[in-house]
Amino acid sequence: MNAPLYDIPVTRIDGKETTLADYAGEVLLIVNVASKCGKTPQYAGLEKLHADYGKRGLAVLGFPCNQFGGQEPGTEAEILDFCRTIYGVDFPMFAKLDVKGPDQHPLYHLLSEAQPTRIVPPGKEHKPGAEVRWNFEKFVVGRDGSVAARFDPDVTPEDDILIQAIEHELAKPA
């Protein structure tokens, strides 16, 4: 699989440079996260998805971002300690990056361009715009590296619409 997504350089939370090629053939749930946000409790649901679906080929990937209200001010070591201590996070975490604006990371440029419309929970109003709206916006990437769906931050990890999208992608052949 040679999807452009797998060639984008990223930095693990421990500072090691890598790409997402390590995850080729898996279904990815890419989430911009923050430790001091009203949506921070979503870490628990993300970890549950990681535990429940990891053996079937789902990789939850957390990308801290401090662009929304300064809600991720800590260092990478502080972020990792918080996530592990408070929420038992075991899924892969990466270094802080920008998900929008002039310094938008190439990963988020690709994700946002590939899927400019986000899915919102039933009964919620769609907020237009291709820019990432807030912390905990979620992108589902298929096993082939294509961006399959994008979910508003108000869609929690437990929401059926997200779980159905993940299960749909997991059911496709590698």
CATH number of the domain enclosing 26 = 3.40.30.10
Res 137: pLDDT: 97
| Active-site residue list | 37
Res 128: pLDDT: 74
**Distant-in-sequence, close-in-space partners of 127: CB < 8 Å, separation ≥ 6:** 118, 120, 133, 152
Q: Which residue range is the domain that position 41 belongs to?
A: 4-171
In order, the DSSP letters of 56-89 are: GTEEEEEEE--TTTT---S-HHHHHHHHHHHH--
Res 126: pLDDT: 73
**Distant-in-sequence, close-in-space partners of 71: CB < 8 Å, separation ≥ 6:** 34, 35, 36, 37, 135
In order, the DSSP letters of 89-108 are: --S-BB----SSSTT--HHH
Domain count for the chain, please give it.
Answer: 1
Res 1: pLDDT: 53
pLDDT 10s digit of each residue in the chain, 174 long? Answer: 568 999 999 999 999 999 999 999 999 999 999 999 999 999 999 999 999 999 999 999 999 999 999 999 999 999 999 999 999 999 999 999 999 999 999 999 999 999 999 998 888 887 777 899 999 999 999 999 999 999 999 999 999 999 999 999 999 987
